[in-house]
Chain A
C-alpha cells in the first residue's frame, strides 16, 4: 500500500528559528494535508493542498504541494514555544480511496 515517509522524526530548535519538514512517497497523491497535534489533544488541520505546485500559507506556516505530486513540505518561520507538538503529513492517494494516508509525524521541541 501507499506509504508516506516523513522527516525528520524529531527536531529540537531554539525559539525564533525557522523549521522545515517534509513528506515523500513513491506514489502520486491528489491531496496533501498538514496537521498539528498538541500534547494530550487530537490532530488539528493546519493546511490543505489540492493542486500540484500549490503554495499555501497560514500565518507563520507555509506548505507546498510538490510538482511531482509525490512530496510536500511544511515550513514554520520564527518559531515560538506554542509551536511545540507533533506535526503529521497526510495525503489522499491517486485512485480515489476515501482514506487518507498519514506520515508517522515530526515531534517539534522549541527551547525558549
Chain B
C-alpha cells in the first residue's frame, strides 16, 4: 500500500547509545517531516525537509540529526540517546507546502 513506512516500530535503547529511525514514502512527495509525540504535548516538529537536498530545524531539534537521503527517504538519528528522548516518533510527508500530511504509524522509543 502506498504511504509512509517507518522502521523500526519499537526500540529500547540504553542511555548513550545511538540509533537511526528510518522513514520512506512512495507518493513522490516533496516535503518530509519528523515529529515527536509526548502525553499532553501534542505533536512537536523536530526537523523537516521542504525538498530533496534541504533540511531545517523545527521546534525541538536538540539531540537529533537528520538526512534527506533522496526524495523518498528521510532518516532521524539520535547520536547519544537520553531518557528525555523516550517518545513516539512520527514521520510525515506532503506533496507541497501547506497540503495535508500523510503520517507513518510511528516508532515507539524507550531510552533507559
Contact indicator A104/B41 (Cβ below 8 Å)? yes
Partner of B50 from A42, A88, A98 at Cβ < 8 Å: A98
| A22 in the interface (beta carbon within 8 A) | no
Compute how far the CA of A30 lies from the CA of B92 in the bound complex, rounded to whole angstroms. 20
Specify the chain A residue showing the minimal Cβ separation from B48.
A99
* Given A104-B40, A104-B42; A92-B104 close (CB under 8 Å): no
**Chain B hits for A85, CB < 8 A:** none
Count A interface residues, CB 8 Å. Answer: 23
Task: Indicate with 1 or 0, residue by residue over A37-59, a CB within 8 angstroms of chain B CB atoms.
Answer: 00011111100100000000000
Pick from B12-20, B62-70, B75-83, B95-103 the stretch touching chain A: B95-103
B42 touches A103 (CB 8 A): yes
Is the CB of A33 closer than 8 A to any CB of chain B?
A: yes
A42 touches B97 (CB 8 A): no
> When the two chains form their complex, are residues B98 and A30 in contact, meaning their CB atoms are under 8 A apart?
yes
